[in-house]
Structure 1
Amino acid sequence: MKLLSISLGKVSPLFSNHHPDYKSVASGIRKKSISNLQNPIPVEINHLGVQGDEQADLGVHGGLEKAIYVYPAEHYAFWNELLTRETKTPTTLLHGAIGENFTIEGLLETEVYIGDKLHIGDLEFSVVKLREPCFKFNAAMGYKGASKAMLQSGFSGWYLRVLKTGMLSAGASITLAPGQRDISIAQQNKNLLKNRNQKDLWE
C-alpha cells in the first residue's frame, strides 16, 4: 500500500448548471498534485490537513474530523470511462481531480473501517467516515450524475483525522492498524445509498 500523490486546492468560484439554486458557488474541490512519484517533495501535514489546502464549507469538508480526504487510484479508470461516455469528451483525470488530498493504491473501501488507524510514512491518521458527494462534485466533473454514480459504485473514498503531524512525501508506504471494525466504509456507503433512494434525495 502506497501514497501516490498529495494534492491541495484553493477556494475559487465553481460554476454549475447541476443545481437549481446555484449558478456559481465557492469550492476548494479543484485540487492539484504537489507531491507525486515523479516529484516527491515533502509536504507539511498539520491537524487541519495539508498545509495550504482550503475548503469553502467547513461544515461539510475540512476541520479536525475531515482533515484529509483519501481516494484510491484504482477507481480512476471507472471515472475516466464514465465521463468519456457521458460527456462525449475523452477524459483522463489527474490525481487530485476527485477532490482528494491523498491518492493511494492498495487499499479500498471494503477493507477500511471507521476507527482504523493508517500509518503513512512517519505520520498517523484515524479513519472517520466516507465522503458524501453533492452537486459541487457534479459541477467539478461536468456531469450531473456524478454524485449518484459515486454512491452507486461505492467508490466514495474516506476522511481521516490527523493524529500525528509532520512532513510527508508521495511514495510513502501505508500500513493499516485495525480498530473495532464495526462498520466499513463500504457498508457506510450502502447505508447512505439506501437512505437516499428511500427518501429520493438525489440532487
Structure 2
Amino acid sequence: MPHVSQTRIPELPAVAPIVLAGRIAPIDERERMSAIAKTPLESPWRVTRTGLAGDQQADQKNHGGPEKAVHHYPFDHYRAWEAQIGEHALLGAPGAFGENLSTTGWTESNVHIGDIVRFGSAVLQVSQGRQPCWKLNARFSRRDMSMLTQMSGRTGWYYRVIEEGEANPGDELRLVERLHEAWPLSRLITLLYRDTRRYDELAKMAEIAELAAGWRALATRRIEKHAVEDWAPRLLGEV
C-alpha cells in the first residue's frame, strides 16, 4: 500500500462508478478496428496492471498499457456536449467516450495528476490526461469531434494501477492521497492544448515524476524545439 501522507485529504467526494468495457469491432466504413464502444461490465471487476479484465484495445501502441490502464470520463460533461453538438444517441448513457469508469462529481478541475485512489481492493494513480484521437470522429460521425474534445478540456484521464485488486457494485472511488495540489488536470490540459508555448510551465510539467513519461517527454520536446507537435495524424487519422 502506498504511503499515506498525514496532510489533510482534499475534499473530493467518494463516488460509486459505472464500470464499462468494450470488445474490438469495426468502427467505420474502412473497417478500422476499435473497442471504443463501451457497455456496462458484469461484476466483480478485476483491475489488473494493464486494465480491466474483459476490456480490449485494438491499437495497443496508443491505447491501454500500464500508463493508460483505466480511462475515467465524467458523466458531468454529457450535458455540456448536448449543448455544444446537439442531441446525439450516444449521449444517452455512459460509454460514449470509451470510458471504463463513469461518475459525476469528479472532473478535470478537481482531480489532480498523481492522485492516488482506492477502488475496492485495487489502488490506482492518475497518470495523464487523454489525448483525443480520430476514433472519436468515427464514433460520433463528426470529423471534428476529436478536436472539439481536445479544445473543450473535457478529455477525461487515465490511471496506472499501483495495486491490482477487485471491486464490486457499491464500492466507491476514494481519494487516498494528493501529491500535487498545484496540478489539477485542467492546468495540464490547458498547457498541452491552449497555452502551448508557456515554456516555463512546460519545464515544471516535465519535472512531475508521477506524470506519464510520454507527457513529460512531450513537454521537453516542445521546450527544445520551440514548436508544437503536429496534431493532425492523431486527430484526423489520415495516415
TM-score (norm: length of structure 2): 0.71
CA distance in 1, matches of 2:15, 2:180: 23
1:15 aligned counterpart, secondary structure: coil
Q: Which has the higher contact order (CA 8 A, sep 6+)?
A: 1
**What's the % identity of the aligned pairs?**
30
Q: Distance in 2 between matches of 1:173 and 1:200?
A: 39
Q: Does 1:81 align with 2:83?
A: yes
Corresponding residue SS for 2:17: strand
Where structure 2 has 5 or more consecutive residues not aligned to the other structure, the ranges are 1-13, 198-227
Question: Which stretch of the first structure deviates more once superposed, 181-190 or 150-159?
Answer: 181-190
Larger strand share, 1 or 2? 1
Partner residue in 2 for 1:113: 112
- State the AA in 2 paired with 1:43: W
- Relative to 1, partners in 2 of residues 1:106 and 1:58: Cα closer, same or farther, differing over 3 Å? same
Question: Could you say what secondary structure the match of 1:110 adopts?
Answer: coil
RMSD: 2.3
**How many Å separate the matches in 2 of 1:11 and 1:66?**
17
Aligned partner of 2:186 in structure 1 is: 186
Instruction: Point out the structure with max Rg over C-alpha.
Output: 2
Shift in alpha-carbon separation, 1:105–1:130, aligned structure 2, 3 A: same
Q: Which amino acid aligns with 1:130?
A: G
Deviations 1:99-146 (A, max 9, x none): 000112221111122211011233210110001111111111122221
- Measured after TM superposition, the shift of residue 59 of structure 1 is 2.0
Aligned mates of 1:181, 1:57 — CA distance in 2: 33
Structure 2 equivalent of residue 129 of structure 1: 128
CA–CA distance in structure 2, aligned partners of residues 170 and 146 of structure 1? 32
> 1:34 aligned to 2:41?
yes
Correspondence for 1:50: 52
Task: Evaluate the alpha carbon distance shift between residue 92 and residue 184 of structure 1 in structure 2; reply closer, same or farther with a 3 A threshold.
Answer: closer
In structure 1, the gaps of 5 or more residues are 17-22, 36-40
Question: What are the equivalent positions in structure 2 for 1:2-17 lying under 5 Å apart?
Answer: 2-15=15-28
Is the 8 Å Cα contact of residues 80 and 91 (structure 1) preserved in structure 2? no
User: Take 1:144 and 1:161, find their aligned partners in 2: how far apart are those partners?
Assistant: 30
Q: Distance in 2 between matches of 1:141 and 1:164?
A: 34
- What corresponds to 1:24 in structure 2? 31
Residue 174 of structure 1: how far off its partner (Å): 2.2
SS of match in other structure, 2:113: coil
Q: TM-score, normalised by structure 1?
A: 0.83
Conserved? CA contact 1:80–1:93, under 8 Å:
no
